[in-house]
Structure 1
Amino acid sequence: MFSVGEQAAVRGAFELADYVGELNMLPLDSGDEVCFVLAQADLLSLTGDIRVLEQVLQQVVGRKVWVLASVDGETVPFG
């Protein structure tokens, strides 16, 4: 789904926002969106504007990106 370069760039973008934990996503049927899911505390501890992070990630993966707090439901590991 994601190239090695995309994976490294996504992890790097999260690291720049001070998040180095496990990345999970919602399993979306749409191939044109990606939804990263973080624990509420982790989301609140990110430095900078979440929307800017989403914009950077959109440029990296070429899709619409959302960064959300944990939700009830199944997530899948990134990568």
Structure 2
Amino acid sequence: MSMKTDRARRLAEAACEAGLVLGLVALPTAWRALDTSLMAVLAGMLLALTAATYALHAVTFDCFLLTGQRSRRNLSYTQRKD
């Protein structure tokens, strides 16, 4: 899988996760008062949550790619070969 498709897949996952959080937490409360300004606030929250989730993915998974730990399959320092 190429790097661009991997990043696009992670961005789509992050957007779905952020949408799920907003759908479960904020939308039921805000549904009765939903207007254009509240929709703009929810859209901003969706973007912020998506960016934060994607950044978390990037820190964890891209770090492994950059350091090459995925290909070396390093063992933990607490495990010893006897």
- Compare the two structures and name the one with the higher strand fraction: 1
* TM-score, normalisation: structure 1: 0.30
* TM-score, normalisation: structure 2: 0.30
- Compare the two structures and name the one with the higher helix fraction: 2
